[in-house]
Amino acid sequence: DTGVSQDPRHKITKRGQNVTFRCDPISEHNRLYWYRQTLGQGPEFLTYFQNEAQLEKSRLLSDRFSAERPKGSFSTLEIQRTEQGDSAMYLCASTPVTAPYGYTFGSGTRLTVV
């Protein structure tokens, strides 16, 4: 297991297009988190899953954003009708049920909306 993987690393898209990001957590980690980080700021919580259940969503997650974790393994984050304000680094992290404070982060997906 090589840690938390995110794909793609970089995405440039035109305003109005839809984009989808993928996160593969560490296999035995049952909790998966999505965070968003804009330039010069700390990351902000978007949503998290315990197994396949989405347990919390931030107010930052407008109705253009949707996240899934259909089989309790990998997760996808989709942004519909992208706006320039969506440009950010999207970070995924996972934790095991036995050590819920033990975060492992992915390298992130940097989205640029032009």
Partner 1 sequence: KNEVEQSPQNLTAQEGEFITINCSYSVGISALHWLQQHPGGGIVSLFMLSSGKKKHGRLIATINIQEKHSSLHITASHPRDSAVYICALIQGAQKLVFGQGTRLTINP
Cβ(88)–Cβ(34) below 8 Å: no
- Strands 19-24 and 75-79, by their bridges, are antiparallel
CB closer to partner 1, 97 vs 114: 97
Residue 8 as a binder of partner 1 (CB under 8 A): the answer is: no
Both tokens assigned to 1: 């297991």
Taking CB under 8 A as the binding criterion, the range among 14-22, 64-72, 74-82, 86-94 that sits at the site for partner 1 is: 86-94
The smaller minimum CB distance to partner 1, of residues 16 and 51, is found at 51
Give the whole-angstrom CA distance, residue 103 versus residue 114.
32
108 contributes a contact to partner 1 by CB under 8 A: yes
Cβ of residue 16: shortest distance to partner 1, in angstroms? 25
Kindly state whether residue 37 participates in binding partner 1, applying the rule CB under 8 A. yes
> Which residue type occupies 95?
T
SS3 content of the chain, % helix, strand, coil (to 5): 5, 50, 50
Residue from 19, 61, 91, 113 binding partner 1 (CB under 8 A): 91
Q: Kindly tell me the burial class for residue 28, based on how many C-beta atoms sit within 10 Å of its own C-beta (0-12, 13-18, 19 or more).
A: exposed
Binding of partner 1 by 105 (CB under 8 A): yes
By the criterion CB under 8 A, which residues form the site for partner 1? 33, 35, 37, 40-45, 48, 55-56, 89, 91, 93, 100-108, 110
